[in-house]
């Protein structure tokens, strides 16, 4: 149905593909986004939307603790930290730009994230984390039990300590994803929904993508297909160390706001206050499955942990539950870079549960790479497609 | 909009109003049903549909233990028992009759109800219950822990004993309610949805009902408005001892059937196997509220109790949750009879969580009363509208 | 359940009740809102959200053409015009205030309303309307067929002329309603959902309201129950000339924006561009019914008229349809004022399809009246409860 | 996750895959069904469920008019007719068998299909069709305008003639699909939902299927993936002449039944009476797209045609709209047979809008083929995979 030629074809219409499409279209690159279902129909719409540049990354994160960090470029600071921090900072002007272009309010809330330690062991880990951020010279506060009682009076009193990260925030993940898509369209990008790419072949300097809706030709290809990326890349002879991780979430509604900030337990449960007195409770982690069924077990475990953190949540009204499939990698680090065998096939995937946070910077970096501008201030070695002998095992 | 005259106007289009309309229309009585919302939009559609003629009534039920039973008419047997048993027996031919008339399959399942005792105290009470049914000469079996393991292998092993009631069954409550309505229409009844009765006044031998959609005239009036009956009857100077009880339920789905019978714990939780590998889990009881919000607390308590009964339910898929408002009375016994101050105003309400079970017989009894045929084999004294000094207090 | 005493009890939790609650609570008045279902569950959430201060009122509106206008207070201008214009102007600072207080973006769009004449007869009427607004010295532009082709290129070419009202706008009706409610709560108002007021009685200087959830006492009562107001007021001996009008609406989704402004045909069909490339198409008018069913006929008539106005809408994606019940009065003018028989019972109803537009000013006027401050610059005579011999006939 | 070995792996969990799984499992064959989404999540659940063995096939159908029929085996009768008729006849005992095994009522209604000619041209074609069925000695009646007025009084009077096919009927398509799946599970089949087959490779006598959830080994493979079959078979070097056809449908609800039979216009619109006074209106045909969006245009065209057939449908209540993607072939005939290059890869696809009707016989034929029993009474040549030079073009 479409034999047109594009500068760049992006495979995957989630938040990462959308951010890349937006950046490229803004630079007058002729872009088409090929999405197998609808815009942001997978993990991007299922996400809680936290901008956890600090809450998600710490001295214990694989990028920092187990890789060759600090790297040469920035000997005193692990360089993934500036990467996440920068992406978080990009959100503020982006919210305005997207609102201007599309009318969509991405729901940016800048009230911080409060990490709670419920056990002594968690408390010690959290304190190390706190020290880490102080050394990094990032905003962070330590809150005693009494401080928390004043700051978020509905949070459980059965806690040992808490760390407040004032600069972490949140957005509406579906709205950010839609805003990227719509803004890219304003700048001329095309989106083809329900369009699955079956295979890709080189044809002179171009790539020919066969889809269920005909053939698309493009000078460059970007694979941003989330948890489905590895399956597609297998067809190009590239085995990545990736696996899907199901995450279940809930939405409940309270009569009056009971928390101001996002409350995040060390046990993995978080509660994010959303528009209209909603609270989003996330998330379970079930690896190695593409099954999006919400289970009784998932709901029970989320409700139990949420009630432990925030006892008054028991009176909240039930709204709904859903699941998304997140793209995890063997070492927990995204893949961002060029295909090792094919020039001008670019890959941006494996963002796991940080796709929303990292979408702004991923969009800019891939757009720069596609345009031959290099990776700027960032060393992309840790994101390299060839950083290890990858095997996809289920 | 409607100034027509009817023989009987029924206020309330739930399962009770529908059953009465069906019986009256079948006898060529000109009937109109006035429903404030849609057909069966309240408790009748929210119900689990159990036909617990034995599982719901026992020697501990108020009708039996605390009232003047055995009554004169049937000195050796508490007469409410035959009332419930008869209604249950009426369901089998009714299922066929309704299917024939309307094409609707009411989902009758006759595989019994299994009552489980989880503690020693529950076990003793259950044994007394078992003895009671033996004395009543009703079908009942006692199952040991080992018997249950064979009979329903997925039920918890942490039980003390179980009583199996082979003749109790279940139907689809929404389908039964719709089938009554549709069958009554086949016989000529009229239904006016979204029609709220504002007040009723005597006019010669007739009643004039003012509604939000004009005035309806009828020779007789039946009030079958479930939890809303008492509020309406206040306008006629009648104070009933009634209060609303919210009940929350869940629906989950399993890959393969894990139980055959309805499993009912003494702690109030029951699991009813439904069409398409669904399991309906009910029900909470929150008295004194018309609020139909499903709460986090309600879901947690149902899931915890269900998992205690049937551990493998943890892997089930979540479908949805809802709530209904059930009409409870001060002594737990329905009101069935004539208005004490107004001739030809009949009342059938307060069926609490037995509305589905008791709908067949209530339909016949009210139709008989309206036609001046008396109450037949049953003494209606325990259902009398004047049986106590009723006060509605919240 | 609640025997508390309030300064003011508001019956009805829609956009009018919410606006009044917000204004009163902001002035430290102790307010309770009694809502029979949920917040804004009726017409307020069903509305299209147009702020048609000019598009809805013209020299042909009953308030202007058939009543005693110009009135004495403002001899040269019909005074309902300033009333609507003022309410429209109040929305801009209100949007900011509500966002600040509640975090809710009410979706204010200030891109005008374009009224289209499709026939010569409509064109003449529209031109008279245009002349009227020029005489009133309000912003208005006449657009030729060619102008429209430039301004809104997707609008049909089969038009005769068009009037552009740059200052009319739109909001999200559900979001405005929720924002009023939430903001009133921030200022201390209480909301009781699922609470139906059964009757009201004087008790000394106070009123006692009997509800399905117990009794509420209040020094003053405000009836803001939309289409249900007349039914309630009958209980107080007041017959208003009011009737319900069902309005059906649709929501469809386009891939790219196809209109910028709200497009409004003289034939009554309007298309309002909403967030996320949605188009809201409204509205049918079916008088004398509380039935909220969406009919095949309603959908066909809306789609046909929408397609006439905006042919490319045929390719839009279907989303959903719904209906609301709007409170219309015999002369098309709202009722705003004191109950003729009871001091301190205030009434604000009958806003028909202008409830969203008129909610800001209605909130302030009722708050002023309740506080004994009078009606300020506005003569409320046309809104008087006793302006005619009202009879409610269906 | 699953390295198990099966006798047969079926790709596709719709009504065709389910019927095959049921027949094989019943014969003690070890079967796994691999479904990329959920059971029957595509066309099988979107279908209207008509059993149009006569209404869908006539002297004008490609199978009969343009192919080499009558064939040698049955010189006097085009043999596709017996194929469809037999499948229709199989439904009656199957309904009982499936109900018995699974408890699911597949909603079989045997009240015939009424084909309506609205124009003189349609009338002539319909009369030829009528003559055809008489020659075939199949039940068929010709109805005059007056006959139709008696038989289905709500059908338009603006018709020229009608043909009644008493033996064509209908089922609930989703219920039939679920019942096949559940019955196959009762007989031991396994179903893996959310499991996409990425590629298939020969490995000795077996096939190895790589999926997103690990690898499956099977002695034989059945491809029953509906509109997705051709895309998969491309990977095996087989180009089929297939294309997707979107079909949109609606569901509306009437207060009382207005038709007894399925009413089918020659213009392609049909109205199928369903449970609970629902009417299913189908279906549009949009070729060459996998896009499942329901369009404004689709709804308008269905409602207009339905109203032409059945004017009183205007008062019906709107319920919902949906779309499915049907697998059409170049000559309108399904593909049923063995893969031309790979032994023991069987294909059953291209049933277009007759998947429900043909599912019983397709299940039996493929089961026979897999077991090496041949095709029995039927010549499968017209269904052959190599019957033409197939090219998939979009």
Full DSSP string of A210-227: EETTEEEEEEEEEE--GG
Integer Cα distance of B29 and B6 in angstroms: 8
Distance from CA of C182 to the nearest CA of A (A): 8
- List the end-to-end C-alpha distance of chain B, in Å, as a whole number: 36
A288 to D196: CB separation less than 8 angstroms, yes or no: no
Say if CB D115 and CB D155 are below 8 A apart. Answer: no
pLDDT tens per residue, range B345-367: 999 999 999 999 999 999 999 99
Q: CB distance from D149 to chain C under 8 Å? A: no
Query: In the structure, what pLDDT confidence band is assigned to residue B69 with cuts at 50, 70 and 90?
Result: very low
Q: Which residues of B touch A297 (CB under 8 A)?
A: 314-315
Q: What is the secondary structure of A108-146 as a DSSP string?
A: -B-S-EEEEE-SHHHHHHHHHHHHHHHHTT---EEE-HH
Nearest CA in chain D to C248: D318
Say if CB D324 and CB D333 are below 8 A apart. Answer: no
Q: CB distance from C239 to chain B under 8 Å? A: no
Q: Which of A198, A209, A212 should one mutate to test binding to chain D, selecting the residue with the greatest count of D CBs within 10 A?
A: A212
Q: CB distance from B191 to chain D under 8 Å? A: yes
Whether complex ipTM tops 0.85? yes
Mean pLDDT of chain B: 91
Q: Which residues of A touch C255 (CB under 8 A)?
A: 185, 191
Tokens, residue A188: 């001329």
Distance from CA of C88 to the nearest CA of A (A): 21
Residue with tokens 């005939």: D333
Helix (H) or strand (E) holding B141: strand B141-143
Integer Cα distance of A68 and A19 in angstroms: 29
pLDDT over 90, % of chain A:
83
Q: What is the secondary structure of C318-341 as a DSSP string?
A: EEEEEEEEEEEETTS--EEEE-SS
Q: Whole-model pTM?
A: 0.89
Mean pLDDT of chain D: 91
Integer Cα distance of D131 and D110 in angstroms: 23
With a cut of 60, say whether residue D373 has pLDDT above it.
yes
Query: In the structure, what pLDDT confidence band is assigned to residue B80 with cuts at 50, 70 and 90?
Result: confident
Nearest CA in chain C to A175: C276
Helix (H) or strand (E) holding D126: helix D120-135
Helix (H) or strand (E) holding C26: helix C15-26
Chain B partners (3+ C-beta pairs within 8 A): A, C, D
Q: Which residues of A touch C103 (CB under 8 A)?
A: 109, 275
Average pLDDT over residues B229-233: 95
Among A135, A140, A132, A139, which residue's Cα sits nearest to residue A163?
A140
Interface of D with C in 293-312 (CB under 8 A): 293-300, 303-304, 306-307
pLDDT over 90, % of chain B:
83
Q: CB distance from C315 to chain D under 8 Å? A: yes
Question: Measured between CB atoms, which of A194, A234, A288 is closest to D198?
Answer: A234
| DSSP E strands, D98-179 | 113-117, 141-143, 161-165, 169-170
pLDDT tens per residue, range C226-277: 999 999 999 999 999 999 999 999 999 999 899 999 999 987 899 999 998 9
The pLDDT of residue A375: 80
Give how far the C-alpha of residue C146 lies from the chain's centroid of Cα atoms, to the nearest Å.
33
Q: CB distance from D254 to chain C under 8 Å? A: no
pLDDT tens per residue, range C62-79: 555 444 344 444 444 456
| DSSP E strands, C118-196 | 141-143, 161-165, 169-170, 190-192
Integer Cα distance of A292 and A246 in angstroms: 7
pLDDT tens per residue, range B157-186: 999 999 999 999 999 999 999 999 999 999
pLDDT tens per residue, range A310-320: 999 999 999 99
Q: CB distance from D191 to chain B under 8 Å? A: yes
| Residues contacting residue A372 through CB under 8 Å, at least 6 positions apart | none
Q: Which of D98, D103, D109 should one mutate to test binding to chain B, selecting the residue with the greatest count of B CBs within 10 A?
A: D103
C278 beta partners: C253, C274
Can you list the alpha helix ranges (DSSP code H) found in chain B? 15-26, 43-46, 62-65, 80-102, 120-135, 145-151, 173-186, 229-234, 296-309, 355-370
pLDDT tens per residue, range C267-312: 789 999 999 899 999 999 999 999 999 999 999 999 999 999 999 9
Phi, psi of A322 (to 5 degrees): -155, 175
Integer Cα distance of A16 and A252 in angstroms: 28
B185 to D256: CB separation less than 8 angstroms, yes or no: yes
Integer Cα distance of D275 and B103 in angstroms: 7
Distance from CA of C275 to the nearest CA of A (A): 7
D1 to A244: CB separation less than 8 angstroms, yes or no: no
pLDDT tens per residue, range A187-235: 999 999 999 999 999 999 999 999 998 999 999 999 999 999 999 999 9
A265 beta partners: A116
Q: Flag the least confident range among A278-292, A339-353, D180-194, D370-384.
A: D370-384
Question: Measured between CB atoms, which of D178, D191, D276 is closest to B104?
Answer: D276
Q: CB distance from C234 to chain B under 8 Å? A: yes
Residue with tokens 């609303």: B244
The pLDDT of residue A67: 42
Question: Measured between CB atoms, which of B196, B231, B289 is closest to C198?
Answer: B231
With a cut of 90, say whether residue C31 has pLDDT above it.
yes
Integer Cα distance of A158 and A270 in angstroms: 16
Integer Cα distance of C257 and C278 in angstroms: 8
Q: Which residues of D touch A212 (CB under 8 A)?
A: 228, 231, 244, 290, 394
Q: CB distance from C189 to chain A under 8 Å? A: no
Phi, psi of C174 (to 5 degrees): -65, -40
pLDDT tens per residue, range C175-229: 999 999 999 999 999 999 999 999 999 999 999 999 998 999 999 999 999 999 9
Phi, psi of C230 (to 5 degrees): -60, -40
Q: Which domains does chain C have, with CATH numbers?
A: 1-109+167-241+330-394 (3.50.50.60), 113-164+245-327 (3.30.9.10)
Say if CB D196 and CB D36 are below 8 A apart. Answer: yes
Q: Which residues of B touch D96 (CB under 8 A)?
A: none
Among A25, A15, A12, A2, which residue's Cα sits nearest to residue A370?
A25
With a cut of 60, say whether residue D242 has pLDDT above it.
yes
Distance from CA of B307 to the nearest CA of A (A): 9
Nearest CA in chain B to C227: B212
Q: CB distance from C256 to chain D under 8 Å? A: no
| Residues contacting residue C131 through CB under 8 Å, at least 6 positions apart | none
Question: Measured between CB atoms, which of B193, B213, B290 is closest to C212?
Answer: B290
Q: Which residues of D touch B276 (CB under 8 A)?
A: 104, 178, 182
Residues B154-190 as b or e (16 or more Cβ within 10 Å = b): bbbeebbbbbbbbbbbbbbbbbbbbbbbbbbbbbebb
Q: CB distance from A268 to chain D under 8 Å? A: no
pLDDT tens per residue, range D126-139: 999 999 999 889 99
Say if CB D60 and CB D125 are below 8 A apart. Answer: yes
pLDDT tens per residue, range A227-272: 999 999 999 999 999 999 999 999 999 998 999 999 999 878 999 9
C265 beta partners: C116
Q: CB distance from B214 to chain C under 8 Å? A: yes
The pLDDT of residue D268: 81
Q: CB distance from C182 to chain A under 8 Å? A: yes
Q: Which of A258, A271, A318 should one mutate to test binding to chain B, selecting the residue with the greatest count of B CBs within 10 A?
A: A318
Question: Which one-letter DSSP state was computed for residue C293?
Answer: P
């Amino acid at each position: 149905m479409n034999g047109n030629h594009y500068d760049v074809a992006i495979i995957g219409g989630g938040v990462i593909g959308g951010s890349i499409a937006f950046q490229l279209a803004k630079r007058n690159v002729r872009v088409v986004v090929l999405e197998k279902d609808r815009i942001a129909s997978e993990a991007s719409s299922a996400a809680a939307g936290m901008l956890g540049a600090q809450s998600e990354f710490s001295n214990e994160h694989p990028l920092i603790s187990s890789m060759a960090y600090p790297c040469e470029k920035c000997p005193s600071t692990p360089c993934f930290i500036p990467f996440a921090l920068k992406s978080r900072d990009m959100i503020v002007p982006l919210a305005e730009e997207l609102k201007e272009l599309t009318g969509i309010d991405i729901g940016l809330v800048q009230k911080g994230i409060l990490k709670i330690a419920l056990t002594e062991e968690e408390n010690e880990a959290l304190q190390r984390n706190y020290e880490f951020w102080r050394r990094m010279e990032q905003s962070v506060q330590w809150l005693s039990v009494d401080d928390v009682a004043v700051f978020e009076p509905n949070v459980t009193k059965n806690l040992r300590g808490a760390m407040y990260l004032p600069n972490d925030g949140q957005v509406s993940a579906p709205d950010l994803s839609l805003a990227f898509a719509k803004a890219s369209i304003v700048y001329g990008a095309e989106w083809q929904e329900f369009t699955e790419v079956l295979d890709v072949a080189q044809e002179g300097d171009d790539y020919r993508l066969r889809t269920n809706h005909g053939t698309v030709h493009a000078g460059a290809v970007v694979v941003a297909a989330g948890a489905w990326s590895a399956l597609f890349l297998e067809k190009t002879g590239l085995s990545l160390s990736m696996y899907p991780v199901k995450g279940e979430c809930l939405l409940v509604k309270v009569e009056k706001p009971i928390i101001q900030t996002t409350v995040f337990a060390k046990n993995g449960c978080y509660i994010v206050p959303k528009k209209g007195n909603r609270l989003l409770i996330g998330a379970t982690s079930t690896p190695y499955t593409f099954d999006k069924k919400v289970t009784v077990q998932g709901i029970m475990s989320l409700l139990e942990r949420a009630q432990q953190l925030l006892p008054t949540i028991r009176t909240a009204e039930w709204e709904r539950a859903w699941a998304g499939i997140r793209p995890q990698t063997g070492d927990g680090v995204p893949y961002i870079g060029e295909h090792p065998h094919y020039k001008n096939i670019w890959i941006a995937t494996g963002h796991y549960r940080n796709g929303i946070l990292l979408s702004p910077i991923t969009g800019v970096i891939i757009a720069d790479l596609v345009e031959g501008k290099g990776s700027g201030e960032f060393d992309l070695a840790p994101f390299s497609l060839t950083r290890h002998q990858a095997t996809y095992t289920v």
